[in-house]
Structure 1
Amino acid sequence: MDGKPPDNFITDQDGAMRQSIQSIFPTTMHRCCRWHIMKKAQEKVGWPLCRNPGLSDDFNKCVDFSFTIDEFEQNWAGLMMKYEAMTHTHFEKLYKYRSTWVPCYFKHRFFPFLQSTQRSEGFNANHILAKEGCNDYRTEHLEIELWSNFPIEKQAYKTYTRDLYRKFREEFELIGRYNAFQVGADIFELRPNQEFVAKYGSQNYLVQARVEEGSYLCECCKMDKDGILCCHILKVFTHIGVDVIPERYLLR
């Protein structure tokens, strides 16, 4: 790493690893792998989950759809009041180390939150989806129907492998679930036009669109997590007439 500490470390919940990272890399942000956290949580709190229908959904909603620290704290307090079975369990240990795994502790409701964590682009998507031999075959030999006539979808079709294009199209099809409203010089608010949108809930989302710079940021952070643009940014594209996806958002 050329003598430079990493920006982020993602590990399981090993205590010795956490202490070592804090000691050797004090400026590095340490995150715990959510998959490991949820797997361990199922083992530790299986009985209260089974005895309390709705707890799992409410817990995930608290974690996934809290956009500020205050909002998360309020939602967590509500969970503790609603489900007495959460007290004196592994949930309390999770809460103690929330700063290493709760997304809202690293993003804020307005756009300063997005300026600080442009992670290694497409880490998750490229690691999981880049099965190049299979994907290249699909791209060469398998046809798939376009969902629309928007130029950006045609561009994605020509650029992505078929498997990645399918994921893009699934996201692009959600643009009809939102209405876009300009609420600032370069800020758009995406408001769902139905009660619940799959993967995104009932929340409004803010998108920063700096068209001249070709820079687009959404507080859902899907691009950072999965390496594919979210339906919120794609909706802004169609709303303001952007016909070409900037190259930086078409990861190879």
Structure 2
Amino acid sequence: MHSYWSPVFLPYPDGSQYPSNIQNVGYPFQYGMRTLTPHIATSSATSERGCSENSPDCRETAVPCTNSIVDEESKEDRPKSPETDDCTTGSLQLVQTDGDNIIEEPRSGMEFNFFEDLHSYYKDYAKKCGFGVMTQRSEKGDDQSIRYATLGCARGGKARIKSLNVAKPRPTGKTDCKAMINALKVEGKMRLTTVHNTHNHGLSPKKSRFFRCNREVSETVKRVLDTNDLAGIRMNKSFGSLVVGAGGFENLPFLENDCRNYIDKARHLRLGAGGAGCMDGIPPKAIITDQDRAMKNAIAKVFPESRHRFCLWHILKKVPEKLGSYAAYKSGLKSHLMKCVYDTQTVEEFEKCWDGLLNTYDLYKNVWLKSLYDERQHWVPVFLKEYFWAGMNTTQRSESMNAFFDGYVHAKTNLKEFVDQFDSALRKKIENENNADFHTFSVTIPCISRSPIEKRFQELYTNAKFREVQQQVMGVLNMDLCLLSEDGVMKRYLVEDEVRVEEFTKLVTYSVNFNVEDYDGKCSCGLFEMRGILCRHILAIFRANGIKLLPDRFQ
């Protein structure tokens, strides 16, 4: 006779609304135990349940996790099964979903080779029924293998009120559900001793994928997430690509939040393994930051040998706010302050110029200027000329530093993400430098003079940096030199130069100390020390003294 399938917990065609507990037939299902016989006869629900509908354990509120099929075969073909604790007797109970996967309901006497087999079986059974699973108790034997375990519904146990506000209790999934199985190790196998299959809450197989026990991020997915995270791809886009690849949310065995949790842990482990490891244990020579007290104190403690510099742009942008209320702000105060910052070439010149600023405009009581003066070694250029800054004097809001981090960090990037993305940005910068090195290797920028020194620069620098050097070479033509003093092998020159500031041009006099014995020169502009480029002032001194070859110090 034909069999009729009905979805889980839907009424029969005759209109009855109660959940069905009628047995079905199906395919073999094996989880480390004996294979079930594929031909199993069934009888009606009422006779096989072994109790009346008015029994305390068989009320309508109790939801047995079974599906339904009616098969009118002879009762002689039915195997006899022991009685279970949930008031279900008779033939084997089977859950059917997807049209072909059939799982036998847990019952006393079932045996599994290993605890892992038992756990996998119960999880699959629960997933088909529509409830979550948790390990409620477990004990290990002398051989450290599981000898006793209780697996139960995830909604088992009583709710505990943890919120201090009684009027706003926290939501809880606990309903004190009694559905569970007990397993004891007997003769080397895990045997079910007690079984309760009845729940006191609703079940939904379609929502099974949301239970924590059914969510798992595979190693393959983890590698994809790690790769995308290191590449700076945000999680919403990374998870979106997984959804598209799987053909929909319902086909993924995990949620977006599971991916976020994994990446958070992965970042923490990467950070814990040594956030300063791309540094090889060597502290930075120089650090530029905003004028922040906390960063200043931290850098002084962690990198005591590093030279710390404040961003000059961030300091000077506050000038209108801090000094704009003074009547003389536009008539001389601002230009005097800029002269102290940019035009002084020695510490003595700066100190004299600063005192003149305070005296001229009566600024002794200005708290902001006093704080700047107290920290002058961290931001005034004249105090920083002896250190290499790679041409940077600010955090360069709109210049190379922003470009350096473009596509790697954003306003919501946290510290752990920043460490990883900084490494990625640094690798990109190194790759760009390698590309520039190849460009220099394969393409040559012609010299603009017949000077052997320029020819040497062409060999030493990349094409991009050589163009900067050529600007200094061309500037030699406009230099006016004056020998100020001579003491043995040391000569001191004054070099007058035209410096362009924004749309204005002004004359600035620099001093150069030159050793005629080893051809060593040091200019007050500090260009070589700060940027690694020989300035036009020293080049002018070389020309005046007939030096044709580049001294070793500048190579």
Provide TM-score, normalisation by structure 1. Answer: 0.70
* Cα separation, 1, equivalents of 2:335 and 2:481: 26
**CA 1:104/1:154 → structure 2, altered by over 3 Å: closer, same or farther?**
same
What do the CA deviations read for 1:188-213 (whole angstroms, capped 9, x no partner)? Answer: 323235xx52169433412233653x
Deviation at 1:239, TM superposition (A): 1.8
Deviation at 1:75, TM superposition (A): 0.5
- More moved, 2-11 vs 18-27: 2-11
* Cα separation, 1, equivalents of 2:310 and 2:355: 22
**CA 1:141/1:187 → structure 2, altered by over 3 Å: closer, same or farther?**
same
**1:171 is aligned to 2:472:** yes
* Structure 1: tracts of 5 or more residues without a match: 108-116
Deviation at 1:49, TM superposition (A): 10
Deviation at 1:228, TM superposition (A): 0.5
- More moved, 163-172 vs 225-234: 163-172
* Cα separation, 1, equivalents of 2:323 and 2:446: 43
* Structure 2: tracts of 5 or more residues without a match: 1-278, 393-398, 401-428, 501-505
**CA 1:82/1:222 → structure 2, altered by over 3 Å: closer, same or farther?**
same
**CA 1:152/1:77 → structure 2, altered by over 3 Å: closer, same or farther?**
same
* Cα separation, 2, equivalents of 1:173 and 1:49: 43
Partner of 2:461: 160
Q: Match of 1:30, SS?
A: strand
Are the counterparts in 1 of residues 482 and 494 from structure 2 also a CA contact under 8 Å? yes
Q: Hey, which of these two has a bigger chunk of helix by percent? A: 1
* Cα separation, 2, equivalents of 1:219 and 1:57: 22
Partner of 2:511: 205
Q: Match of 2:464, SS?
A: helix
| Larger RCO (CA within 8 A; separation ≥ 6) | 1
**1:216 is aligned to 2:494:** no
**CA 1:20/1:249 → structure 2, altered by over 3 Å: closer, same or farther?**
same
Are the counterparts in 1 of residues 390 and 531 from structure 2 also a CA contact under 8 Å? yes
Q: Matches of residues 1-252 of structure 1 in structure 2 within 5 Å?
A: 7-41=285-319, 44-45=322-323, 51-84=329-362, 88=366, 90-105=368-383, 117=386, 119=387, 123-124=390-391, 132=433, 133=435, 146=448, 148-175=449-476, 176-181=478-483, 183-192=486-495, 197-198=498-499, 201-209=507-515, 211-212=517-518, 215-246=520-551, 248-250=553-555
Deviation at 1:78, TM superposition (A): 1.4
**CA 1:80/1:242 → structure 2, altered by over 3 Å: closer, same or farther?**
same
* Cα separation, 2, equivalents of 1:155 and 1:13: 40
What do the CA deviations read for 1:140-170 (whole angstroms, capped 9, x no partner)? Answer: 6686661x33221233245434432332222
- More moved, 132-141 vs 50-59: 132-141
Are the counterparts in 2 of residues 223 and 230 from structure 1 also a CA contact under 8 Å? yes
**CA 1:93/1:197 → structure 2, altered by over 3 Å: closer, same or farther?**
same
Aligned length: 234
Are the counterparts in 2 of residues 179 and 190 from structure 1 also a CA contact under 8 Å? yes
Identity over the aligned pairs, expressed in percent? 29
Deviation at 1:106, TM superposition (A): 5.6
Are the counterparts in 2 of residues 155 and 245 from structure 1 also a CA contact under 8 Å? yes
**CA 1:85/1:169 → structure 2, altered by over 3 Å: closer, same or farther?**
same
* Cα separation, 2, equivalents of 1:65 and 1:224: 18
* Cα separation, 1, equivalents of 2:294 and 2:351: 27
Q: Which runs of at least 4 in structure 1 moved beyond 6 Å after TM superposition?
A: 1-4
